[in-house]
Structure 1
């Protein structure tokens, strides 16, 4: 009986482990509207368990992990070199979490010192096609949708026991292997997958503010015009020095810091003038 119990436990643990999978997508994007030849690529993870899925950037996870360790080991002030930070720059600083039970989708993104969270309020209405093909090892079927100002074509497979996809994409009877917009500005391509012990917990420096999507968009626009207003007051723990000045400390002239932050915000806004979601 004891042996049977051990075998049953082993099978149970194997079943639980099998429920946690990581799907690695390569994202190809043209974030600069004025320079479409500047093509960015980076890897992202879609971690799926029985309860939820989490989509995020590989670079963002590595960067936040280094910041967290440096911040904890520095007595409350992180010391991270500019080279370290530059090596892990990402165009995907947000994360998307989907709750399997409620079928709700939550988007998280940092604006200044705080993390804004909203529940996606727009449905994904897919038009199914009978067209099929093969991508890698998977037989896939075509579906299309209009979402957030773009027309998307997705290819999904029923070869895998998941009904999910990268970013906010979901609602098809299978896992999305590839999805791209009709302008060729954004593409998500499944590269590989493997089992993981558990879904990671992303570090969230600063306050977490739950808002409506419209409020997030409003704050995002406000940040582009006046980034310094988001760097003062609140925050509570976001290690601003490494991001602002490459870890040279917080003793620089306030006017210099304001100018540096404003210039960087304008530069980032220009480089991301073709976002994945359009008005």
Structure 2
């Protein structure tokens, strides 16, 4: 009986650990270089299982849910509430997936009509300090690193059985509760966590193009210089695909185009894309 009890306990602990845990971070951003007083805040999810973790915008899930209900109901894009979708626009249009088994980090983001995916090739070299404090209910320890042109300070806890963090951050002996850059442009703050049944399916519109990080940077630069060249294939097709995908790099502007003049649609889309590029002129990665 004692052996059975030990086996049952072990199976129970294994089941608990195998569950996916969702950590909700509040992300604070000053993404417009021309307007440093413009601070935007939104929530993002870090879903963690023993095999992998995924970091993405909370608004993306909400938008996907609205789109799914609209199409399942047979209404299509014409039945989607434009104001509701606009209220769920996000500055976090990327997805970061960490493969725990192979210790690899993959980044996905939209450029124009397509999704570009690359494996992160820069290691995070942390300098762990002996300084500790308390953030919320967690005892945390300080660590610092230089990454992608910014100096970052993180506070991690060993109170939770995870070695992970928001965005591309990880590699510390605990879960990152807070991480921010020294300019105060970007901050990720853990707000709460709870268990979920499984990873959600994230809708993806457009082709996925796997590239090296250097090639992604080149394409991104080209898009900033001439965004409309990325939208040239199929006016309304590219317009709707990109807009639905929620990408700020080619965000488009509206649903159910109806009988709108193609030239007017293109002009409106071009103005919208240029405005989006301007709003994201202070990106999280400077190098």
The residue that corresponds to 1:256 in the other structure is 264
What's 2:81 paired with?
81
Contact 2:45/2:56, CA 8 A, preserved across alignment: yes
> 237-246 vs 90-99, which deviates more?
237-246
TM-score of the superposed pair, with normalisation by structure 2:
0.87
| Structure 1 residue 222: Cα displacement | 2.0
- Give how far 1:14 is off: 6.4
Report the TM-score when normalising by structure 1.
0.90
SS at the partner of 1:264? helix
CA deviation vs aligned residue, 1:46-93 (integer Å, no higher than 9, x gap): 000011000001011211232233245447756423202111011101
- Matches of 1:211 and 1:188 in 2, distance apart? 27
Secondary structure of residue in 2 paired with 1:31: coil
> Post-superposition shift, 1:236?
8.7
2-structure distance, mates of 1:133, 1:181: 18
Match of 1:15 in 2: 14
Cα separation, partners in 2 of 1:68 and 1:109, compared to 1, 3 Å: farther
- Judged with a 3 Å threshold, the aligned counterparts in structure 2 of structure 1 residues 224 and 236 are, in CA distance, closer, same or farther, namely closer
Partner of 1:40: 40
The 5 Å alignment of 1:122-161 reads 122-161=122-161
Where structure 2 has 5 or more consecutive residues not aligned to the other structure, the ranges are 245-250
Residues paired across the two proteins, number: 275
**Structure 2 Cα separation of the partners of residues 132 and 68 of structure 1:** 45
Instruction: Tell me the secondary structure at the aligned position of residue 102 of structure 1.
Output: coil
Contact 1:226 1:262 (8 Å CA) reproduced: no
> How many angstroms does 1:161 deviate by?
0.5
Could you say which residue in structure 2 is the equivalent of 1:189? 189
Task: Please tell me whether the aligned partners of residues 53 and 98 of structure 2 are also in contact (alpha carbons under 8 angstroms).
Answer: yes
Moved more, 232-241 or 47-56: 232-241
For structure 1, list consecutive stretches of 5 or more residues without a partner in the other structure. Answer: none
Residues 200-225 of structure 1, C-alpha deviation per residue, up to 9 Å, x if partnerless? 22111121111111111222222223
1:119 paired to 2:119: yes
- State the partner residue of 2:209: 209
